């Protein structure tokens, strides 16, 4: 059975840099608070009108296609991971297919937030292993800056997130001991409301008091999105940060160890760990727990903030370009986030 390799990788970061100090224009925060609690110094925001989640994904995809040395006509399947799609529906996959003028190939959208890339990688791996596809374009992109609460009310979330895109081309190889060795996917829906955007949605207050929509007096046509919901800022993401943090520092090491043990490795064998860039403090905790050296972990959150689905491939792409990943290296990617969902992938580069 063939193994799945990353044959091409690329990323795209929008030009506009927003420092922590820039955020003081909108909210009561400080560079000191943000750096101390998260490690973030700056992030990038897409152009408000000229760039979308899809257009950034297109740029990243072009870079990955060039790096793989293939023609876009060779691509036989698209997977697009994001939590900030251009439209509620259809997904970004078809918009990317249109923008890149690809053949009428399949386009699958993945909605697993911070774990989106690793989940998508796992899906692609199955398609490659079964021989169904030979060149999968996997894109992860986020335009968070369009949907954050920039008032002091939303500061625990808005300071963390940034915009970016990254893409990989996945191909089969017959070489032994190369490519994706295993992937491990998990979820715990008990915590779905801890990090979520409740509205607009169709829940009609079905699940939990916390995740409510104010439509008592709204006309039937307003139930999906009422004026009251906007007045109450229900259209922004909601997060119990400390609760996410506590769970993340348990699940990250667990899912990394699961991948290592499945393949008879220990943390000492790892050449590089790429943790989802949620918070530098979480990554440092995981590094300590697994007794990894600094050169075994790659972080770039200080420059980009948390770019959700794009964070792992963006870090992977930068690490690769910086010469931190060489052929034969053992690389682990691990993510944790909204859902909760968490996942890992172990690969021999
Ligand atoms: O990728 C998705 C997964 N997400 C994560 O992994 C996030 C995990 N959680 C975290 O990274 C951290 O919980 C945060 C960085 C979000 C928050 O840090 P924290 O140390 O947990 O702070 P906190 O939420 O407990 O808030 C502490 C204080 C509060 O003030 P009081 O009540 O102590 O007076 C907040 O109002 O910090 C205040 N605060 C801020 N102050 C300045 C919250 N956000 C800010 C801010 N600037 N941006």
Domain boundaries, the chain: 3-173, 198-235
Alpha carbon of 33 to ligand 1 centroid (Å): 9
* 337 CA to centre of ligand 1 in angstroms: 15
Q: What is the pLDDT of residues 262-298, one digit of tens each?
A: 999 999 999 999 999 999 999 999 999 999 999 999 9
Instruction: Give the model's confidence band at 339: pLDDT under 50 very low, under 70 low, under 90 confident, else very high.
Output: very high
Q: Which of 112, 114, 135, 238 is catalytic?
A: 114
Active site residue 214: no
Q: What is the mean pLDDT of residues 179-190?
A: 98
Tell the residue nearest (CA) to atom 1 of ligand 1. Answer: 278
For the entire predicted model, the pTM comes to 0.97
Residue of the nearest CA to atom 45 in ligand 1? 156
Measured in angstroms, how far is the CA atom of residue 40 from the centroid of ligand 1?
13
Residue 67 known to be catalytic? no
276 in catalytic set: yes
Nearest CA to ligand 1 atom 36: 156
Q: H helices of the chain, where?
A: 31-38, 53-68, 92-99, 116-129, 155-158, 227-231, 241-262, 280-289, 301-304, 311-321
**Fold of the 3-173 domain:** Peroxisomal Thiolase; Chain A, domain 1 (3.40.47)
């Amino acid at each position: 059975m063939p193994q799945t390799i990353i044959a091409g990788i690329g990323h795209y970061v929008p030009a506009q840099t927003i420092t922590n100090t820039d955020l003081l224009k909108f909210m009561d925060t400080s560079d000191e608070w943000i750096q101390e609690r998260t490690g973030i110094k700056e992030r990038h925001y897409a152009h408000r009108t000229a760039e979308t989640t899809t257009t950034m994904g297109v740029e990243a995809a072009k870079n990955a296609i060039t790096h793989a040395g293939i023609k876009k006509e060779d691509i036989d399947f698209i997977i697009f991971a994001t939590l900030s799609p251009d439209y509620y529906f259809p997904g970004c996959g078809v918009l990317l297919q249109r923008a890149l003028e690809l053949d009428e190939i399949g386009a699958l959208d993945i909605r697993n937030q911070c774990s989106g890339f690793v989940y998508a990688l796992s899906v692609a791996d199955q398609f490659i292993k079964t021989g169904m596809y030979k060149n999968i374009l996997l894109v992860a992109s986020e335009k968070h800056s369009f949907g954050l609460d920039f008032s002091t009310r939303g500061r625990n979330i808005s300071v963390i997130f940034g915009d970016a895109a990254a893409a990989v081309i996945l191909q089969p190889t017959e070489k032994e001991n190369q490519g994706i060795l295993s992937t491990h996917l998990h979820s715990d829906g008990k915590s779905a409301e801890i990090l979520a955007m409740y509205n607009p949605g169709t829940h009609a207050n079905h699940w939990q008091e916390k995740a409510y929509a104010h439509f008592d007096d709204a006309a039937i046509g307003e139930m999906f999105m009422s004026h009251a919901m906007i007045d109450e800022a229900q259209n922004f993401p909601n997060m119990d940060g400390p609760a996410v943090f506590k769970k993340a520092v348990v699940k990250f090491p667990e899912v990394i160890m699961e991948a290592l043990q499945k393949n008879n490795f220990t943390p000492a064998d790892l050449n590089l760990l790429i943790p989802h860039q949620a918070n530098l403090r979480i990554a440092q905790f995981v590094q300590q727990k697994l007794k990894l050296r600094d050169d075994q972990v790659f972080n770039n959150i200080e420059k980009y903030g948390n770019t959700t689905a794009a964070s792992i491939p963006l870090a992977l792409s930068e690490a690769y370009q910086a010469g931190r990943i060489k052929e034969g290296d053992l690389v682990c990617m691990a993510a944790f986030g909204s859902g909760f969902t968490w996942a890992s992938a172990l690969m021999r580069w």
